Amino acid sequence: MPSPITITDVQTILTEPANSRLIVVKILTSEPGLYGLGCATFTQRFRAVHTAIQEHLRPFLIGRDVDRIEETWQMAMVHSYWRNGPVLNNAISGADMALWDIKGKRAGMPLYQLLGGKCREAAACYAHADGKDEQEVEANVRRFMEQGYQYIRVQMGGYGGRASELHKPEGAPDGAYFDPRDYVRKALRAIEHVRRAVGPEVELLHDIHERLRPIDAVGFAKDVEPYKLFFLEDPLAPEDLEWFRNIRGQCATPIAMGELFNHPREWTPLIQDRLIDFIRMHVSQMGGITPARNVAAFANMYGIRTAWHGPGDVSPVGHAANLHLDLWAPNFGVQEWCRFPDLVYEMFPGTPEVRGGYMYPNDRPGLGIDVDEKLAAKHPCKDYVDRWTQTRTPDGTPVRP
């Protein structure tokens, strides 16, 4: 019986090619030339994840059999005793994706084949249309429609909007201010304008980004119902899950949730009680491909679709993992897409391509993606204190971003 292929080293690649600090895990093996890549991106705390990988996960992984993905994931999750937090989840996710990448390369198959094969040839994507006013939002929606997108997220002035005037107290501290009531009025006006302008055929989405108090989120979901959104994203924070029952009981607006979820007890009750319509976890935050595969299958039993988190602070490796899950899952809904610049495609050969609003695989073994480490090193991560997550309401109160 041949000796197993084992993990010989775990490396972390930190790079910032497009204003998001990305973390890529590279697992090297005892088979010459065989390695795997995974995404561990937690851009706001990238150094904490880097330390978790190099100082804690690396010694744990070296010497382990690359084939035993399930056992490795299970043991890694409990090895620290304290579990289900974003830093360690991202570290574990990077390793988990890299091991699936290795398994696909060993099999000579794309990852979706190992999951059970395709249910579709490509994954429908949605793009983000923003603007300073309704007319600019409409123009951006039409631009994406011309490119073939059938799913478009409508925002106006970013998350929470940009209030035209804020009545702040004297001495108010610096921060990313917004007015929740002003945001509600303007967002509803923008969605109404776009729906009337472009008609019913294009699917519109909107992201509250947990910016509202629960009772106001319930009201927003009711008020937006006539405009037939494909889904309303993150209307509530993970701390307010009990309020989903209020939304469900008062309107038929489809709900997507999960971007901030770390713990199975966050998504399990929402799925089994059918309180949401789409699950959209950040696959590296939830722990990788292994739990994402399980959650997709679980959600499928309850008629709930997938819509994995896919912004610019998911690395191209993470987007590749999303795509393989999308192609396989019978309950796929839609995939968020951030539209990377050319530099990212050069740095990460094999980054999924979107044509006519659909994301296509390249059919290379494993995740089908690589990284140019020399180019990545020319774009190191910068240290700075994020401003957009220092969110405040008009009187200066710190609130969730």
Catalytically annotated residues: 159, 209
Give whole-number Cα distances, 377 to 114, 255, 368, 371, 381, in Å. 32, 40, 21, 11, 9
Distance of CA 68 to the CA centre of its chain: 26
Question: 143 with 164: CB under 8 angstroms?
Answer: no
In the chain, the amino acid numbered 351 is T
Q: Which residue has the tokens 């994507």?
A: 125
| SS3 call for 61 | helix
DSSP letter for each residue of 271-303 = HHTT--SEE---HHHHTSHHHHHHHHHHHHTTT
Question: 210 with 234: CB under 8 angstroms?
Answer: yes
Establish how many alpha carbons lie within 13 A of residue 26's alpha carbon, considering only the half-sphere containing its beta carbon: 13
| SS3 call for 129 | strand
DSSP 18: S
**Pairing, β 7-15 against β 22-29:** antiparallel
- ∠ CA 162-312-325, rounded to 5°: 125
The CA distance from 286 to 91, in Å, is 10
The CA distance from 47 to 369, in Å, is 24
Torsion sign over Cα 32, 37, 40, 46? positive
Give whole-number Cα distances, 184 to 7, 38, 56, 160, 205, in Å. 51, 38, 44, 8, 15
